[in-house]
Amino acid sequence: MEIDEISVNEAAGIMGVTVHAVRDLIRRGVLPARKFASVWVLRTYDVRAYQARRATYQRPGPKPTRAREGPPALRQAQGIAPTD
- Domain of 23: which CATH number? 1.10.1660.10
In a domain, 67, yes or no: no
Find the angle CA(57)-CA(62)-CA(63) to the nearest 5 degrees: 115
Residue 43 located in a structural domain? yes
Distance CA 49, CA 79 (A): 49
Q: Which of 4, 45, 46 is nearest to 25 (CA)?
A: 46
Number of folded domains that form the chain: 1
pLDDT per residue as tens digits for the range 11-31: 999 999 999 999 999 999 999
- Indicate whether 82 belongs to any domain: no
Q: Which of 52, 66, 64 has the alpha carbon at shortest distance from 74?
A: 66
For 68-81, what is each residue's pLDDT tens digit? Answer: 555 666 666 666 66
Residue 16 inside a domain? The answer is: yes
Residue 75 lies in a domain: no
Quote the CA–CA distance of 5 and 21 in Å, as a whole number.
18
